[in-house]
Structure 1
Amino acid sequence: MEILVCIKQVPGSNKVEVDSVTGVLKRDGADSKMNPYDLYALEVGLELREQYGGKVSVLTMGPPQAKAVLYEAFAMGADEGALITDRKFGGADVLATSYTVSQGIKKFGKFDLILCGLQTTDGDTAQVGPEVSETLGIPCVCNVSAIGAVKAGGITVMMDMPEDIEEVKVSFPCLLTVQKDIMQPRLPSYKLKKATEKRGIQMFTLQDMEDTDEHHYGLNGSPTQVQRIFPPTSDKVQQKLEGTSAEMADQLYRILKKKKFTA
Protein backbone atom coordinates (compact mmCIF):
# COMPACT_ATOMS: atom_id res chain seq x y z
CA MET A 1 0.00 0.00 0.00
CA GLU A 2 1.34 3.41 -0.95
CA ILE A 3 0.54 5.79 1.91
CA LEU A 4 1.15 9.53 2.00
CA VAL A 5 0.90 11.57 5.19
CA CYS A 6 0.60 15.33 4.85
CA ILE A 7 2.28 17.07 7.78
CA LYS A 8 2.87 20.68 8.72
CA GLN A 9 5.30 22.67 10.80
CA VAL A 10 3.43 24.98 13.18
CA PRO A 11 4.59 27.57 15.74
CA GLY A 12 5.81 26.02 18.97
CA SER A 13 4.20 28.79 21.05
CA ASN A 14 1.76 31.67 20.74
CA LYS A 15 4.63 34.17 20.70
CA VAL A 16 4.76 34.56 16.93
CA GLU A 17 5.26 37.77 14.97
CA VAL A 18 2.73 38.81 12.34
CA ASP A 19 3.64 40.56 9.09
CA SER A 20 1.93 43.96 9.31
CA VAL A 21 1.55 44.19 5.52
CA THR A 22 0.37 40.71 4.50
CA GLY A 23 -1.24 39.76 7.80
CA VAL A 24 0.40 36.31 7.82
CA LEU A 25 2.60 34.66 10.43
CA LYS A 26 6.36 35.16 10.21
CA ARG A 27 7.54 31.56 10.31
CA ASP A 28 11.22 32.03 9.48
CA GLY A 29 13.31 31.54 12.59
CA ALA A 30 10.31 30.98 14.87
CA ASP A 31 10.26 28.10 17.34
CA SER A 32 8.35 25.34 15.55
CA LYS A 33 7.09 21.78 15.93
CA MET A 34 5.08 19.22 14.00
CA ASN A 35 1.36 19.91 14.07
CA PRO A 36 0.07 17.66 16.91
CA TYR A 37 -2.86 16.32 14.86
CA ASP A 38 -0.43 15.17 12.16
CA LEU A 39 1.34 12.91 14.65
CA TYR A 40 -1.83 10.83 14.83
CA ALA A 41 -2.13 10.70 11.04
CA LEU A 42 1.48 9.56 10.80
CA GLU A 43 0.92 6.84 13.40
CA VAL A 44 -2.08 5.55 11.43
CA GLY A 45 0.07 5.35 8.31
CA LEU A 46 2.89 3.54 10.10
CA GLU A 47 0.57 1.00 11.71
CA LEU A 48 -1.18 0.32 8.42
CA ARG A 49 2.21 -0.29 6.81
CA GLU A 50 3.13 -2.70 9.60
CA GLN A 51 -0.10 -4.63 9.10
CA TYR A 52 -0.43 -4.60 5.33
CA GLY A 53 3.01 -3.72 3.99
CA GLY A 54 3.91 -0.93 1.62
CA LYS A 55 5.56 2.45 2.11
CA VAL A 56 4.84 5.60 4.11
CA SER A 57 5.84 8.91 2.53
CA VAL A 58 5.52 12.34 4.11
CA LEU A 59 4.92 15.68 2.44
CA THR A 60 5.02 19.18 3.86
CA MET A 61 4.75 22.72 2.57
CA GLY A 62 6.66 25.65 4.00
CA PRO A 63 10.00 27.47 4.15
CA PRO A 64 13.26 25.47 4.00
CA GLN A 65 13.27 25.08 7.79
CA ALA A 66 10.15 22.89 7.45
CA LYS A 67 12.54 20.05 6.58
CA ALA A 68 12.79 19.51 10.32
CA VAL A 69 9.35 17.90 10.54
CA LEU A 70 10.23 15.55 7.69
CA TYR A 71 13.30 14.34 9.59
CA GLU A 72 11.17 13.97 12.70
CA ALA A 73 8.82 11.79 10.66
CA PHE A 74 11.82 9.75 9.44
CA ALA A 75 12.82 9.19 13.07
CA MET A 76 9.34 7.81 13.69
CA GLY A 77 9.57 5.44 10.74
CA ALA A 78 8.54 7.25 7.53
CA ASP A 79 10.30 6.01 4.39
CA GLU A 80 10.72 9.13 2.26
CA GLY A 81 9.76 12.78 2.24
CA ALA A 82 9.27 15.84 0.08
CA LEU A 83 9.12 19.58 0.75
CA ILE A 84 7.02 22.03 -1.24
CA THR A 85 8.79 25.37 -0.94
CA ASP A 86 8.86 28.59 -2.92
CA ARG A 87 8.43 32.23 -1.92
CA LYS A 88 5.62 32.43 -4.47
CA PHE A 89 3.66 29.99 -2.28
CA GLY A 90 3.81 32.33 0.73
CA GLY A 91 0.70 33.94 2.19
CA ALA A 92 -1.67 31.33 0.77
CA ASP A 93 -5.18 30.96 2.17
CA VAL A 94 -6.70 27.48 2.60
CA LEU A 95 -7.78 27.29 -1.05
CA ALA A 96 -4.37 28.22 -2.47
CA THR A 97 -2.66 25.99 0.10
CA SER A 98 -4.85 23.03 -0.87
CA TYR A 99 -4.16 23.59 -4.54
CA THR A 100 -0.41 23.81 -3.93
CA VAL A 101 -0.40 20.65 -1.83
CA SER A 102 -2.42 18.77 -4.46
CA GLN A 103 0.05 19.86 -7.13
CA GLY A 104 2.90 18.64 -4.93
CA ILE A 105 1.18 15.30 -4.42
CA LYS A 106 0.85 14.82 -8.17
CA LYS A 107 4.56 15.54 -8.54
CA PHE A 108 5.54 13.27 -5.64
CA GLY A 109 3.82 10.12 -6.90
CA LYS A 110 0.68 7.99 -6.90
CA PHE A 111 -0.78 6.98 -3.55
CA ASP A 112 -3.53 4.63 -2.44
CA LEU A 113 -4.20 6.44 0.81
CA ILE A 114 -3.55 10.05 1.82
CA LEU A 115 -3.73 10.86 5.54
CA CYS A 116 -4.05 14.29 7.14
CA GLY A 117 -4.55 15.48 10.68
CA LEU A 118 -8.04 16.77 11.33
CA GLN A 119 -6.78 20.37 11.53
CA THR A 120 -3.75 22.46 12.41
CA THR A 121 -3.12 24.32 15.62
CA ASP A 122 -2.18 27.55 13.82
CA GLY A 123 -5.18 27.79 11.49
CA ASP A 124 -7.83 25.46 12.94
CA THR A 125 -9.86 25.55 9.72
CA ALA A 126 -9.97 21.77 9.07
CA GLN A 127 -10.49 22.68 5.40
CA VAL A 128 -7.20 21.82 3.69
CA GLY A 129 -7.61 18.04 3.74
CA PRO A 130 -11.08 17.98 2.15
CA GLU A 131 -10.06 20.63 -0.39
CA VAL A 132 -6.99 18.62 -1.40
CA SER A 133 -9.22 15.60 -2.07
CA GLU A 134 -11.58 17.75 -4.11
CA THR A 135 -8.72 19.11 -6.20
CA LEU A 136 -7.34 15.61 -6.74
CA GLY A 137 -10.80 14.25 -7.55
CA ILE A 138 -10.71 11.47 -4.96
CA PRO A 139 -13.17 10.56 -2.15
CA CYS A 140 -12.62 11.96 1.34
CA VAL A 141 -13.76 10.96 4.82
CA CYS A 142 -13.27 13.44 7.67
CA ASN A 143 -13.34 13.08 11.45
CA VAL A 144 -12.07 9.50 11.30
CA SER A 145 -11.92 8.09 14.83
CA ALA A 146 -11.01 4.46 14.07
CA ILE A 147 -9.67 2.31 11.26
CA GLY A 148 -11.50 -0.88 10.31
CA ALA A 149 -10.72 -3.52 7.71
CA VAL A 150 -8.45 -2.88 4.76
CA LYS A 151 -9.27 -4.97 1.73
CA ALA A 152 -8.23 -4.90 -1.89
CA GLY A 153 -9.53 -1.69 -3.36
CA GLY A 154 -10.67 0.07 -0.20
CA ILE A 155 -10.75 0.72 3.53
CA THR A 156 -13.43 0.80 6.23
CA VAL A 157 -13.30 3.61 8.80
CA MET A 158 -15.39 5.01 11.62
CA MET A 159 -16.46 8.63 11.17
CA ASP A 160 -17.29 10.61 14.30
CA MET A 161 -20.43 12.63 13.59
CA PRO A 162 -22.20 15.06 15.97
CA GLU A 163 -24.96 12.58 16.82
CA ASP A 164 -23.41 9.18 16.17
CA ILE A 165 -20.50 7.13 14.83
CA GLU A 166 -20.87 6.08 11.20
CA GLU A 167 -19.08 3.19 9.49
CA VAL A 168 -17.89 4.20 6.05
CA LYS A 169 -16.36 2.07 3.31
CA VAL A 170 -14.33 4.07 0.82
CA SER A 171 -12.39 2.96 -2.24
CA PHE A 172 -8.75 3.70 -3.04
CA PRO A 173 -7.35 6.20 -3.78
CA CYS A 174 -8.87 8.26 -0.98
CA LEU A 175 -8.05 10.85 1.65
CA LEU A 176 -8.80 10.62 5.37
CA THR A 177 -8.55 13.31 8.02
CA VAL A 178 -8.06 11.71 11.43
CA GLN A 179 -8.90 12.85 14.92
CA LYS A 180 -6.46 12.96 17.79
CA ASP A 181 -6.38 9.89 20.01
CA ILE A 182 -7.24 7.59 17.09
CA MET A 183 -3.94 5.89 17.95
CA GLN A 184 -1.14 6.72 20.36
CA PRO A 185 1.73 8.27 18.37
CA ARG A 186 5.07 6.57 18.89
CA LEU A 187 8.13 8.44 20.05
CA PRO A 188 10.92 9.19 17.57
CA SER A 189 13.67 6.57 17.63
CA TYR A 190 17.22 7.74 18.29
CA LYS A 191 18.58 4.94 16.11
CA LEU A 192 16.27 5.92 13.25
CA LYS A 193 17.15 9.56 13.74
CA LYS A 194 20.86 8.81 13.35
CA ALA A 195 20.24 6.44 10.44
CA THR A 196 18.11 8.95 8.53
CA GLU A 197 19.77 12.28 9.38
CA LYS A 198 21.34 12.45 5.93
CA ARG A 199 18.42 11.01 4.00
CA GLY A 200 17.63 12.99 0.86
CA ILE A 201 14.46 15.02 0.60
CA GLN A 202 12.78 15.93 -2.66
CA MET A 203 12.20 19.66 -3.13
CA PHE A 204 9.34 20.99 -5.26
CA THR A 205 9.17 24.63 -6.33
CA LEU A 206 6.73 26.39 -8.64
CA GLN A 207 8.71 25.35 -11.71
CA ASP A 208 8.36 21.67 -10.76
CA MET A 209 4.57 21.78 -10.72
CA GLU A 210 2.26 20.68 -13.49
CA ASP A 211 0.66 24.13 -13.28
CA THR A 212 3.33 26.85 -13.25
CA ASP A 213 0.99 29.84 -13.30
CA GLU A 214 2.05 31.82 -10.23
CA HIS A 215 -1.37 33.48 -10.09
CA HIS A 216 -2.79 30.19 -8.78
CA TYR A 217 -0.52 30.16 -5.73
CA GLY A 218 0.28 32.15 -2.61
CA LEU A 219 -1.32 35.55 -2.09
CA ASN A 220 -2.02 35.84 -5.83
CA GLY A 221 -4.12 32.67 -5.79
CA SER A 222 -5.95 33.40 -2.55
CA PRO A 223 -9.54 34.61 -2.98
CA THR A 224 -9.76 35.38 0.74
CA GLN A 225 -7.53 37.87 2.51
CA VAL A 226 -6.90 38.06 6.23
CA GLN A 227 -7.77 41.53 7.45
CA ARG A 228 -5.96 41.24 10.75
CA ILE A 229 -4.03 38.67 12.79
CA PHE A 230 -2.94 39.44 16.32
CA PRO A 231 -1.83 37.48 19.38
CA PRO A 232 -4.58 37.01 21.95
CA THR A 233 -4.55 39.48 24.81
CA SER A 234 -4.56 38.18 28.34
CA ASP A 235 -7.24 39.61 30.61
CA LYS A 236 -6.53 37.37 33.59
CA VAL A 237 -6.82 39.14 36.92
CA GLN A 238 -5.68 37.58 40.16
CA GLN A 239 -7.28 38.56 43.42
CA LYS A 240 -6.42 37.13 46.81
CA LEU A 241 -9.17 36.74 49.39
CA GLU A 242 -8.41 36.67 53.07
CA GLY A 243 -10.46 35.95 56.16
CA THR A 244 -12.51 33.12 57.54
CA SER A 245 -14.33 30.69 55.26
CA ALA A 246 -17.56 32.59 55.73
CA GLU A 247 -15.93 35.96 55.09
CA MET A 248 -14.19 34.73 51.93
CA ALA A 249 -17.41 33.13 50.71
CA ASP A 250 -19.19 36.46 51.21
CA GLN A 251 -16.41 38.33 49.38
CA LEU A 252 -16.56 35.87 46.47
CA TYR A 253 -20.34 36.22 46.29
CA ARG A 254 -20.10 40.02 46.12
CA ILE A 255 -17.47 39.82 43.36
CA LEU A 256 -19.61 37.44 41.30
CA LYS A 257 -22.69 39.59 41.86
CA LYS A 258 -20.83 42.70 40.75
CA LYS A 259 -19.80 40.93 37.57
CA LYS A 260 -23.44 39.84 37.10
CA PHE A 261 -22.59 36.14 37.32
CA THR A 262 -25.26 35.64 39.98
CA ALA A 263 -28.51 37.22 41.06
Structure 2
Amino acid sequence: MKAIIKITMVIACLIVSFGSASAQQAASNTPKLNMGKVEPYEMVVTYNKTSHLIFPFAIRYVDLGSEYLIAGKAEDAENVLRIKASVRDFKEETNFSVITDDGRFYNFNVRYHPRPATLNYDLLTMQKATHRENVNDVLFEELGGNSPSLAGLLMETIYKRNKRIVKHIGSQSYGIQFLLQGIYVHNGKLYFHTELRNKTNIPFQIDYMSFKVVDKKIAKRTVVQEKPMIPLRMYKPLGVIRGNTTDQNVFLLDQFTITDDKVLVIEIFEKNGSRQQVLQVENTDLVHAKPINEMHLRIN
Protein backbone atom coordinates (compact mmCIF):
# COMPACT_ATOMS: atom_id res chain seq x y z
CA MET A 1 0.00 0.00 0.00
CA LYS A 2 2.82 2.39 0.94
CA ALA A 3 4.52 1.60 -2.38
CA ILE A 4 1.36 2.49 -4.32
CA ILE A 5 1.10 5.80 -2.44
CA LYS A 6 4.75 6.63 -3.21
CA ILE A 7 4.29 5.81 -6.90
CA THR A 8 1.16 7.99 -7.03
CA MET A 9 3.01 10.90 -5.42
CA VAL A 10 5.93 10.56 -7.86
CA ILE A 11 3.54 10.57 -10.84
CA ALA A 12 1.77 13.65 -9.48
CA CYS A 13 5.09 15.47 -9.05
CA LEU A 14 6.11 14.58 -12.58
CA ILE A 15 2.80 15.89 -13.96
CA VAL A 16 3.18 19.17 -12.04
CA SER A 17 6.81 19.54 -13.13
CA PHE A 18 5.95 18.81 -16.75
CA GLY A 19 3.07 21.29 -16.70
CA SER A 20 5.26 23.98 -15.19
CA ALA A 21 8.01 23.38 -17.73
CA SER A 22 5.50 23.46 -20.58
CA ALA A 23 4.06 26.71 -19.30
CA GLN A 24 7.53 28.25 -19.03
CA GLN A 25 8.41 27.03 -22.52
CA ALA A 26 5.17 28.48 -23.93
CA ALA A 27 5.82 31.76 -22.15
CA SER A 28 9.36 31.92 -23.53
CA ASN A 29 8.06 31.28 -27.06
CA THR A 30 5.34 33.94 -26.80
CA PRO A 31 6.39 37.35 -28.21
CA LYS A 32 6.46 40.00 -25.50
CA LEU A 33 5.08 43.45 -26.17
CA ASN A 34 8.06 45.15 -24.59
CA MET A 35 10.27 43.66 -27.31
CA GLY A 36 8.58 45.99 -29.80
CA LYS A 37 7.90 48.97 -27.57
CA VAL A 38 8.48 52.49 -28.81
CA GLU A 39 10.74 54.28 -26.37
CA PRO A 40 9.17 57.63 -25.46
CA TYR A 41 10.88 60.98 -25.37
CA GLU A 42 10.64 62.82 -22.07
CA MET A 43 9.71 66.50 -21.98
CA VAL A 44 8.15 69.13 -19.73
CA VAL A 45 5.65 71.85 -20.60
CA THR A 46 4.30 74.90 -18.82
CA TYR A 47 1.22 77.11 -18.93
CA ASN A 48 2.68 80.53 -19.75
CA LYS A 49 5.10 79.50 -22.49
CA THR A 50 4.81 77.47 -25.69
CA SER A 51 7.16 74.63 -26.55
CA HIS A 52 8.07 73.81 -30.16
CA LEU A 53 9.18 70.50 -31.64
CA ILE A 54 10.88 70.51 -35.04
CA PHE A 55 10.44 67.19 -36.88
CA PRO A 56 12.52 66.04 -39.87
CA PHE A 57 9.35 65.73 -42.00
CA ALA A 58 5.87 67.22 -42.20
CA ILE A 59 3.48 66.29 -39.38
CA ARG A 60 0.59 64.09 -40.47
CA TYR A 61 -1.15 63.09 -37.23
CA VAL A 62 -1.17 64.25 -33.60
CA ASP A 63 -2.95 62.60 -30.66
CA LEU A 64 -2.97 64.13 -27.18
CA GLY A 65 -3.17 61.83 -24.17
CA SER A 66 -5.27 64.16 -22.03
CA GLU A 67 -6.98 67.53 -21.84
CA TYR A 68 -3.97 68.86 -19.92
CA LEU A 69 -2.30 69.59 -23.26
CA ILE A 70 -3.10 71.74 -26.29
CA ALA A 71 -1.16 71.44 -29.53
CA GLY A 72 -1.22 72.42 -33.19
CA LYS A 73 1.00 72.72 -36.24
CA ALA A 74 2.74 76.06 -36.63
CA GLU A 75 1.39 78.23 -39.43
CA ASP A 76 3.27 77.82 -42.73
CA ALA A 77 5.57 75.22 -41.12
CA GLU A 78 4.31 71.70 -41.68
CA ASN A 79 7.06 70.10 -39.57
CA VAL A 80 6.78 72.27 -36.44
CA LEU A 81 4.44 71.36 -33.57
CA ARG A 82 3.40 73.90 -30.92
CA ILE A 83 2.45 72.43 -27.54
CA LYS A 84 1.75 73.79 -24.05
CA ALA A 85 -0.19 73.03 -20.88
CA SER A 86 -3.87 73.96 -20.92
CA VAL A 87 -4.08 73.95 -17.09
CA ARG A 88 -1.59 74.97 -14.43
CA ASP A 89 0.34 72.54 -12.26
CA PHE A 90 -1.17 69.25 -13.44
CA LYS A 91 0.28 66.47 -11.30
CA GLU A 92 -0.26 63.36 -13.40
CA GLU A 93 2.12 62.51 -16.22
CA THR A 94 0.45 62.52 -19.63
CA ASN A 95 1.60 61.86 -23.19
CA PHE A 96 1.09 62.61 -26.87
CA SER A 97 1.97 60.89 -30.15
CA VAL A 98 2.97 62.17 -33.58
CA ILE A 99 3.17 60.52 -37.01
CA THR A 100 5.17 62.26 -39.74
CA ASP A 101 5.05 62.00 -43.52
CA ASP A 102 8.10 59.74 -43.64
CA GLY A 103 6.12 57.10 -41.71
CA ARG A 104 7.80 57.64 -38.34
CA PHE A 105 5.87 57.29 -35.07
CA TYR A 106 6.94 59.38 -32.08
CA ASN A 107 5.74 59.10 -28.49
CA PHE A 108 6.32 61.68 -25.73
CA ASN A 109 5.83 61.44 -21.98
CA VAL A 110 4.99 64.88 -20.60
CA ARG A 111 5.18 66.41 -17.14
CA TYR A 112 4.40 69.91 -15.92
CA HIS A 113 7.10 72.32 -14.81
CA PRO A 114 6.60 76.01 -14.03
CA ARG A 115 9.96 76.99 -15.53
CA PRO A 116 11.19 74.49 -18.16
CA ALA A 117 14.90 74.61 -18.87
CA THR A 118 14.21 73.84 -22.54
CA LEU A 119 11.30 74.97 -24.68
CA ASN A 120 12.34 74.01 -28.21
CA TYR A 121 13.46 70.60 -29.48
CA ASP A 122 15.01 69.50 -32.79
CA LEU A 123 14.02 65.85 -33.26
CA LEU A 124 16.57 65.16 -36.01
CA THR A 125 19.42 66.32 -33.77
CA MET A 126 18.04 64.27 -30.88
CA GLN A 127 17.76 61.15 -33.04
CA LYS A 128 21.36 61.42 -34.20
CA ALA A 129 22.62 62.08 -30.68
CA THR A 130 20.80 59.07 -29.24
CA HIS A 131 21.15 56.77 -32.28
CA ARG A 132 17.37 56.50 -32.63
CA GLU A 133 17.20 57.27 -36.36
CA ASN A 134 16.02 53.78 -37.33
CA VAL A 135 12.74 53.54 -35.47
CA ASN A 136 9.33 52.33 -36.58
CA ASP A 137 7.58 52.59 -39.92
CA VAL A 138 3.89 53.47 -40.33
CA LEU A 139 2.24 52.44 -43.62
CA PHE A 140 0.03 54.98 -45.39
CA GLU A 141 -2.93 54.05 -47.57
CA GLU A 142 -1.83 56.11 -50.58
CA LEU A 143 1.53 54.31 -50.70
CA GLY A 144 -0.06 50.86 -50.74
CA GLY A 145 2.42 48.28 -49.51
CA ASN A 146 5.36 50.64 -49.90
CA SER A 147 7.23 51.68 -46.79
CA PRO A 148 7.42 55.50 -46.49
CA SER A 149 11.03 55.28 -45.34
CA LEU A 150 11.96 53.10 -48.32
CA ALA A 151 10.18 55.45 -50.73
CA GLY A 152 12.09 58.34 -49.17
CA LEU A 153 15.37 56.45 -49.45
CA LEU A 154 14.74 55.70 -53.13
CA MET A 155 14.01 59.37 -53.83
CA GLU A 156 17.17 60.33 -51.99
CA THR A 157 19.19 57.80 -54.01
CA ILE A 158 17.86 59.14 -57.30
CA TYR A 159 18.49 62.71 -56.19
CA LYS A 160 22.07 62.16 -55.01
CA ARG A 161 23.15 60.04 -57.98
CA ASN A 162 21.75 62.69 -60.32
CA LYS A 163 22.00 60.68 -63.53
CA ARG A 164 20.39 61.85 -66.73
CA ILE A 165 18.89 58.77 -68.36
CA VAL A 166 16.19 60.62 -70.34
CA LYS A 167 17.90 62.96 -72.79
CA HIS A 168 15.14 64.09 -75.11
CA ILE A 169 12.58 65.76 -72.80
CA GLY A 170 13.16 69.37 -71.85
CA SER A 171 12.18 72.98 -72.42
CA GLN A 172 14.08 76.25 -72.48
CA SER A 173 12.96 79.86 -72.61
CA TYR A 174 13.63 83.19 -70.88
CA GLY A 175 16.96 81.86 -69.62
CA ILE A 176 15.31 78.96 -67.77
CA GLN A 177 15.92 75.33 -68.70
CA PHE A 178 13.64 72.55 -67.37
CA LEU A 179 14.71 68.93 -67.88
CA LEU A 180 13.26 65.52 -67.16
CA GLN A 181 16.35 63.64 -65.99
CA GLY A 182 14.72 60.25 -65.62
CA ILE A 183 11.65 58.12 -64.93
CA TYR A 184 11.96 55.17 -62.54
CA VAL A 185 9.52 52.49 -61.44
CA HIS A 186 9.32 50.49 -58.22
CA ASN A 187 6.50 48.42 -56.73
CA GLY A 188 3.65 50.17 -58.53
CA LYS A 189 5.03 53.71 -58.20
CA LEU A 190 6.74 56.08 -60.65
CA TYR A 191 9.59 58.40 -59.70
CA PHE A 192 10.10 61.51 -61.86
CA HIS A 193 13.54 63.14 -61.58
CA THR A 194 13.57 66.78 -62.75
CA GLU A 195 16.17 69.52 -63.02
CA LEU A 196 15.74 73.28 -63.30
CA ARG A 197 18.58 75.51 -64.48
CA ASN A 198 18.44 79.26 -64.01
CA LYS A 199 20.85 80.88 -66.48
CA THR A 200 19.84 84.41 -65.55
CA ASN A 201 20.71 86.74 -62.69
CA ILE A 202 17.07 86.88 -61.54
CA PRO A 203 16.04 84.21 -58.97
CA PHE A 204 13.28 81.85 -60.10
CA GLN A 205 10.70 81.45 -57.32
CA ILE A 206 8.70 78.26 -57.93
CA ASP A 207 5.01 78.87 -57.31
CA TYR A 208 3.75 75.35 -58.02
CA MET A 209 4.11 72.35 -60.32
CA SER A 210 1.42 70.29 -61.99
CA PHE A 211 1.24 66.86 -63.59
CA LYS A 212 -1.73 66.24 -65.89
CA VAL A 213 -2.73 63.98 -68.78
CA VAL A 214 -4.20 65.87 -71.77
CA ASP A 215 -5.21 65.10 -75.34
CA LYS A 216 -2.48 65.66 -77.91
CA LYS A 217 -4.82 67.39 -80.33
CA ILE A 218 -6.48 70.16 -78.39
CA ALA A 219 -6.51 72.93 -81.01
CA LYS A 220 -10.03 72.16 -82.22
CA ARG A 221 -11.49 71.46 -78.79
CA THR A 222 -13.42 74.07 -76.90
CA VAL A 223 -13.14 72.08 -73.68
CA VAL A 224 -9.80 70.47 -73.03
CA GLN A 225 -10.01 67.11 -71.30
CA GLU A 226 -7.47 67.11 -68.47
CA LYS A 227 -6.74 64.50 -65.83
CA PRO A 228 -4.61 65.78 -62.94
CA MET A 229 -1.98 63.40 -61.56
CA ILE A 230 -1.28 64.35 -57.96
CA PRO A 231 2.22 63.56 -56.63
CA LEU A 232 2.19 61.44 -53.48
CA ARG A 233 5.57 62.72 -52.34
CA MET A 234 8.33 65.10 -53.40
CA TYR A 235 11.92 64.81 -52.25
CA LYS A 236 12.13 68.40 -51.06
CA PRO A 237 9.81 71.42 -50.96
CA LEU A 238 9.55 73.71 -53.96
CA GLY A 239 11.70 76.79 -53.44
CA VAL A 240 13.88 79.40 -55.10
CA ILE A 241 16.43 78.69 -57.84
CA ARG A 242 18.92 81.48 -57.42
CA GLY A 243 20.58 83.21 -60.34
CA ASN A 244 23.00 81.07 -62.38
CA THR A 245 22.37 77.94 -60.31
CA THR A 246 20.83 74.51 -60.88
CA ASP A 247 18.52 72.50 -58.66
CA GLN A 248 16.72 69.18 -58.94
CA ASN A 249 13.85 67.30 -57.33
CA VAL A 250 12.16 63.89 -57.34
CA PHE A 251 8.39 63.34 -57.45
CA LEU A 252 6.57 60.12 -56.53
CA LEU A 253 3.32 59.26 -58.34
CA ASP A 254 1.09 56.23 -58.64
CA GLN A 255 2.05 54.05 -61.59
CA PHE A 256 0.01 54.80 -64.72
CA THR A 257 0.15 54.60 -68.50
CA ILE A 258 -1.61 56.64 -71.20
CA THR A 259 -2.93 56.01 -74.68
CA ASP A 260 -1.05 57.14 -77.78
CA ASP A 261 -3.43 60.06 -78.34
CA LYS A 262 -2.60 61.57 -74.95
CA VAL A 263 0.46 63.08 -73.32
CA LEU A 264 1.60 63.73 -69.76
CA VAL A 265 2.24 67.45 -69.29
CA ILE A 266 4.55 68.59 -66.47
CA GLU A 267 4.39 72.34 -65.86
CA ILE A 268 6.36 74.53 -63.51
CA PHE A 269 5.15 78.06 -62.74
CA GLU A 270 7.07 81.07 -61.51
CA LYS A 271 5.63 83.10 -58.65
CA ASN A 272 4.94 86.67 -59.77
CA GLY A 273 6.48 85.87 -63.13
CA SER A 274 5.80 84.38 -66.54
CA ARG A 275 8.83 82.14 -67.14
CA GLN A 276 6.83 78.92 -66.75
CA GLN A 277 8.16 75.79 -68.43
CA VAL A 278 6.34 72.79 -69.93
CA LEU A 279 7.46 69.19 -70.50
CA GLN A 280 5.57 66.60 -72.54
CA VAL A 281 5.98 62.90 -71.77
CA GLU A 282 4.76 60.20 -74.16
CA ASN A 283 3.49 56.77 -73.20
CA THR A 284 6.63 55.23 -74.72
CA ASP A 285 8.65 57.18 -72.14
CA LEU A 286 6.50 55.89 -69.29
CA VAL A 287 6.69 52.23 -70.27
CA HIS A 288 10.47 52.47 -70.54
CA ALA A 289 10.84 53.67 -66.95
CA LYS A 290 13.97 52.24 -65.31
CA PRO A 291 13.39 49.68 -62.52
CA ILE A 292 14.99 50.30 -59.13
CA ASN A 293 16.79 47.48 -57.36
CA GLU A 294 15.83 48.04 -53.72
CA MET A 295 18.02 45.24 -52.41
CA HIS A 296 21.15 47.22 -53.18
CA LEU A 297 19.46 50.63 -53.47
CA ARG A 298 21.02 50.78 -56.91
CA ILE A 299 19.44 52.10 -60.07
CA ASN A 300 19.74 49.55 -62.87
Question: Normalising by the residue count of structure 1, what TM-score does the alignment of the two structures yield?
Answer: 0.20
Q: Which has the higher helix share?
A: 1
TM-score with structure 2 length normalisation?
0.18
Asked which structure has the greater RCO (Cα within 8 Å, sep 6+), the reply is 1
